[in-house]
Amino acid sequence: MDQYAVVGNPIAHSKSPRIHAYFAQQTEQNLMYSTLLGDLAEFENQVRDFFEKGGKGLNITVPFKERAYAMCDILSQRAKQAGAVNTLMMGKNGDLFGDNTDGVGMVRDIIHNHGQNLKDKSVLILGAGGAVRGVLEPVLAENPESVTIANRTVEKAQALADQFDCLASSFEALDGPFDIIINGTSASMTGSLPPLKDTLVSDCTWCYDMMYGKDRTVFLQWAHERGADGADGLGMLVGQAAEAFYLWRQIRPETASLVEEMRKQM
């Protein structure tokens, strides 16, 4: 049976085994997917050992995405842009291939599960950390009218904007409204929103939080109070897994039913 795993530290909380077991059953694929607690000193050796023993693919999560990136012989374009890898597979010639499926997982969730279109839209992305870097290339591939990155430290936003050829702003200088707002800050974990103006939102604005939870996130609550619809990032979690599954098995699982089932059990 083909072996797959997710590596991280901590890892016991990971939903990935459940997600991939669902995909395998849905698509009638014979595989085993488990968790692997990454050793901070021995991560690279753990990855090599997994593939030497015949493992087919790994997902990589915190805090190892940049270290996985550095190990790869071949990188996808979106991994190069993200500067981090969340999916590994071994080529037939023994080359380690790395990809980053976070951004495409989010974009597919936005388009296919929520019926939103990024083409020709004004998009605001909040935050300038690794999560945002990982989604910029797939967002820009949808040909939005504009993408603005806003961050507390404008210099970080400007560095990303220069790399990806988009706009940068402080939160205070933002001038809306925007068609789509994506939250890539940790606000929904900390419960502390950045200073966002009411004018960023109109009744046509749609908001997406890369975080998710049982209840409406603090960002989505802010949007809701100003008349904007939106969605959280549970579908992104499932979507990035589906993209990794497709890379490994060349079959794309349907995700909406799993997102709905996981939502009910939260």
Q: Which residues in 13-52 are b (16+ Cβ under 10 Å) and which e? A: ebebbebbebbbeeeeeebebebbebeeeebeebbeebbe
Does residue 1 sit in helix, strand or coil? coil
Which among 31, 5, 50 has a CA at the least distance from the CA of 251?
A: 31
Is there a catalytic annotation at residue 53?
no
How many other C-beta atoms lie within 10 A of the C-beta of residue 80? Answer: 14
Cα–Cα distance measured from residue 245 to residue 239, given in angstroms and rounded to the nearest whole number? 10
Amino acid making up residue 196? L
Cα–Cα distance measured from residue 113 to residue 251, given in angstroms and rounded to the nearest whole number? 18
The residue annotated as part of the active site, out of 15, 53, 56, 65, is: 65
Q: What contacts 218, CB < 8 A, 6 or more positions away?
A: 187, 188, 191, 192, 193
Residues annotated as catalytic (active site), given as ranges: 65
